[in-house]
Amino acid sequence: GEDVEQSLFLSVREGDSSVINCTYTDSSSTYLYWYKQEPGAGLQLLTYIFSNMDMKQDQRLTVLLNKKDKHLSLRIADTQTGDSAIYFCAESNTNAGKSTFGDGTTLTVKP
Amino acid sequence: NAGVTQTPKFQVLKTGQSMTLQCAQDMNHNSMYWYRQDPGMGLRLIYYSASEGTTDKGEVPNGYNVSRLNKREFSLRLESAAPSQTSVYFCASSEIFRQGGNSPLHFGNGTRLTVT
């Protein structure tokens, strides 16, 4: 079945860039999403990219997609302490449109 | 707009007890979902409802039942709770359920359930 993998932890200094990586197995994935989860809350959509795109930029966020390697990354420029959270990669495919989530990457931003 | 509202926020059950988790959305979304979140296991889909009147099993449906009461509401029932069902449960909704991928999910804030 579909699988989405992420590294579990990332720690950066405030002001640095953060890069969170994700790999997925389903070649029929059509949408790839990044969600953010803050403590005690549900997931919130950060950004998404359609599978025929290579890159998408949205203010401090840059998403890169390498469809050949099934690799997705999220870059956060000028990372702030408020960016500390768990970030989930998710894919949605042609098989009934359900989303499969990675286990989440916990980003810690140190002042 | 409240978005997706889940009740209760917290619940403690004894093994064998039953309960229903409630979820309502005010965004006029067609599709609704129930996920559970466990440490180290990400989110796993329990059941989903592509549209009013339909429900389907997800990845981990055993021990659960659902009801799509109307377009707004989608409830999750545990008939006989087990300690393995201790988890955080999230309801979500999306605008369109279609072949080729669904729209981004909007999540509630979760129900934290402990079964002793």
**B105 touches A: beta carbon within 8 Å:** yes
State residue B36's pLDDT score.
Answer: 96
**Is B72's pLDDT higher than 90?**
yes
Cα–Cα distance, B30 to B52 (Å, whole number): 7
Choose between B102 and B53: higher pLDDT: B53
Contacts of B45 in chain A (CB under 8 A): 98-99
Partner-chain residue, chosen from B43, B97, B109, that has the shortest CB–CB distance to A41:
B109
The whole-number mean pLDDT for each consecutive block of 10 residues of chain A, a chain of 111 residues, reads 86 97 84 91 90 91 94 96 95 69 94 91
State residue A11's pLDDT score.
Answer: 97
State residue B30's pLDDT score.
Answer: 87
Going by pLDDT thresholds of 50, 70 and 90, the confidence category of residue B102 is low
CB B112 within 8 A of CB B8: no
Contacts of A92 in chain B (CB under 8 A): 101-102
CB A94 within 8 A of CB B100: yes
State residue A95's pLDDT score.
Answer: 53
Instruction: Copy the structure tokens of residue B59.
Output: 């990845």
State residue B101's pLDDT score.
Answer: 53
Long-range contacts of B66-75 (CB under 8 A, 24+ apart): B66/B34, B68/B32, B71/B28, B71/B30, B72/B24, B72/B25, B72/B26, B73/B22, B73/B23, B73/B24, B74/B23, B74/B24, B74/B32, B74/B33, B74/B34, B74/B49, B75/B20, B75/B21, B75/B22, B75/B23
Q: What is the pLDDT of residues B30-42, one digit of tens each?
A: 889 999 999 877 8
B99 vs A43: CB contact, 8 Å cut-off?
no
**A101 touches B: beta carbon within 8 Å:** yes
Closest A-chain CA to B5: A42
- Mutation site, A33, A35, A43, interface B, largest B CB count within 10 A: A43
Going by pLDDT thresholds of 50, 70 and 90, the confidence category of residue B85 is very high
Q: What is the pLDDT of residues A1-15, one digit of tens each?
A: 568 999 999 999 999
What Rg value do the Cα atoms of chain A yield, rounded?
13
B101 vs A48: CB contact, 8 Å cut-off?
no
B109 vs A42: CB contact, 8 Å cut-off?
yes
CB-based contacts of B3, cutoff 8 Å, min separation 6:
B25, B26, B27, B106, B108
